[in-house]
Every structure is written in C-alpha cells, then in structure tokens.
Chains A and B, each alone.
Chain A
Amino acid sequence: SQKIEQNSEALNIQEGKTATLTCNYTNYSPAYLQWYRQDPGRGPVFLLLIRENEKEKRKERLKVTFDTTLKQSLFHITASQPADSATYLCALDDGGFQKLVFGTGTRLLVSP
C-alpha cells in the first residue's frame, strides 16, 4: 500500500540548534515533493518544493533534500527560533495534475 510517514512524536530542540525532520514514502514515484508549515487553528502554508531531479533546495534558513533511491526527504531548519515552533507537513504528487498526498506532520517545539 502507499504510505507517507513522518515522525508522529514531537521534536523538541533548543533555540539556535538545527532541526531535522524526516519524510519517508513507499509505493509512490513522485515528480516533486513539497513542505508546508501549519500553525494551530490555521491552514497549511507552503514553504519549499523540490523536484525529483534536484538533490537539495535552500531558502533562507530552510534546506530540503530529496533522495528518490531511499524514498526520503529531509527538512532542516538551521539556527532555529521559538517562532519556528509549528507542525511541518510533507506532501508529494499523487501522479495526477497538482494532486498532493500529505503526511500526518511532525510537531516541532523550539525552546528558548
């Protein structure tokens, strides 16, 4: 069966450290993968997109890697801040035009 797995346990880190979140998938062959941020009581907000032929993508303090052999994406936030505390969702294309399948998300807590 098709699955997207993100760590359901919250990730607790100290301010200034690098947070690394993992997204694993099985039985998909996505052309691209996206990461979203969701704050409590709000809709997800797009952060980054990485295509299957890209190994790494950066945007300010964010970095995403995509390994289609391992079927895994890693999402890094460097120099993390308490304001980075949120739930982070990965999503990949479901083979249909702009249809996405979402993981359940990982909650990140950054303490001062």
Chain B
Amino acid sequence: NAGVTQTPKFQVLKTGQSMTLQCAQDMNHNSMYWYRQDPGMGLRLIYYSASEGTTDKGEVPNGYNVSRLNKREFSLRLESAAPSQTSVYFCASSGVAGLSSYNEQFFGPGTRLTVL
C-alpha cells in the first residue's frame, strides 16, 4: 500500500496563476483533509471531507477550493495564487467505516509551494 500520495512535490507559481494539488489514499478511508504548515503557525486545516460527496471549510479556507472526486481522491485548487499562500501543503486521511471515530490521521509527504 502506498498510503497517502501527493503531487507535485514542489511547485513555483507566479502571483495570479492557478494550480491544483492532487491527493490520493489507498486505505479505504472515509475522511480526507488538506492542511498548510507555516513556520511558527503549525498545521492549519484548510478544508476537509468527512465522507465521499461532502466537503467543509476548516480554519483557513479563503483562496482555496476543493473537490472530493471519489473516495480515494481529494484535490485542492488555488484559483489565483498569492504570495501569502507560499507554504507546505499536507493531505491526510482517516477513518474506516464501522470503526472508532477516534482514528489517527495518515499524512502524505507534502507539497512545497512558492508563490512569487
């Protein structure tokens, strides 16, 4: 099993450009998440999807959109990138149907995004 995979690993954008970060998991997890991690700020939740077909805003959703394409895939889109969106982006997944709601989250390797 590959776990949680993310593409691309690195990306440089110019202000105003758009891009989509891809995430996929092969653990049959119901829930998926997008975080950003900035120095001194810790991990902050951007959007999450509790189950296939649903998405909800997290702590810092402005400037982002998401799509839960199917149970495996959860993408994050930046429509018009800004320098403030320079960060490391992590996708995570958790929760197998029928088990405890206290499941741990499994993280991908991250995407390092720089917006010039």
How many chain B residues touch the partner (CB < 8 A)?
27
B103 touches A105 (CB 8 A): no
Closest B residue to A47 by CB, please name it. B104
Closest A residue to B93 by CB, please name it. A98
Residues of A within 8 A of B48 (CB): 99
B106 touches A46 (CB 8 A): yes
Q: A43-B107, A43-B109, A98-B94 are in contact. Are A31 and B102 (CB under 8 A)?
A: yes
Is A100 an interface residue when CB atoms closer than 8 A count as contact?
yes
Scan residues 62-115 of chain B and give those whose CB is less than 8 A from a CB of chain A. Answer: 90, 92, 94-95, 101-110
Closest A residue to B94 by CB, please name it. A98
Partner of A98, one of B4, B50, B108: B50
B102 touches A102 (CB 8 A): no
Q: Cα distance A46–B50 when bound, in Å?
A: 19
Scan residues 15-49 of chain B and give those whose CB is less than 8 A from a CB of chain A. Answer: 31, 35, 40-45, 48
Closest A residue to B9 by CB, please name it. A41
A42 touches B109 (CB 8 A): yes
A49 touches B42 (CB 8 A): no
B109 touches A97 (CB 8 A): no
Scan residues 41-79 of chain A and give those whose CB is less than 8 A from a CB of chain B. Answer: 41-46, 49, 51
A46 touches B102 (CB 8 A): no
Q: Cα distance A104–B37 when bound, in Å?
A: 9
A8 touches B40 (CB 8 A): yes
Partner of B105, one of A31, A41, A51, A100: A100
Residues of B within 8 A of A42 (CB): 109-110
Q: Which residues of B contact A (CB under 8 A)?
A: 4, 31, 35, 40-45, 48, 50, 58-59, 90, 92, 94-95, 101-110
